[in-house]
Amino acid sequence: MVDAITLPKVRNLNSVLFPVRYSGAFYKGLLHPGQFSQLAQYNNISVGTIACRSQPLGFADCSFTTMFDYNSPVPDKFELYMMTLGVLAPYRRLGIGRLFLQNAMEFAFRDQNIVRIVLHVQIDNDDALRFYHKHGFSTLRIVPHYYKNIEPSDAYLLEYRLR
């Protein structure tokens, strides 16, 4: 699990793995309750990481319509949003990503209020799409212009139904 000591390693690894630059708030958020984040190391080398957060059901596909209405009831159903999952190229196909995914699924299964796992995948990331489809995720739709300052900017929204 990621903690204050391993957080800088996650930050460094993310800068190599992903074209997106994450803010300091993103990294601080990984340490909050309700988050799921792990770091894989091999011979003291950081080789992979995953970061997920629990959020109200529908938030990922913008169907959570009451998020700014303070008079609405507190949501009782949630989704686990997979913000990042990445493994350095030389360490891929060794089961690290699969293990990360299994651990995230187990985390979500333990919380009866989490009904699905969702994530966005850049539309040209065929390897990631194959990986998630192989593990039971389905593509819900294309989200136009999801990414800022990255081409292509469109993303697929994927879902794994737990309940």
Instruction: Give catalytic residues, as residue numbers.
Output: 81, 120
- Tell whether the torsion through CA atoms of 28, 152, 122 and 144 is positive or negative: positive
Q: How far apart are CA 139 and CA 3, in angstroms?
A: 32
First to last CA, the chain: 25
Q: What are phi and psi of 65, to 5 degrees?
A: -85, -10
Question: 149 Cβ partners below 8 Å, 6+ apart?
Answer: none
Q: Where are the alpha helices (DSSP H) in 18-161?
A: 24-29, 96-110, 126-134
Q: How far apart are CA 155 and CA 132, in angstroms?
A: 14
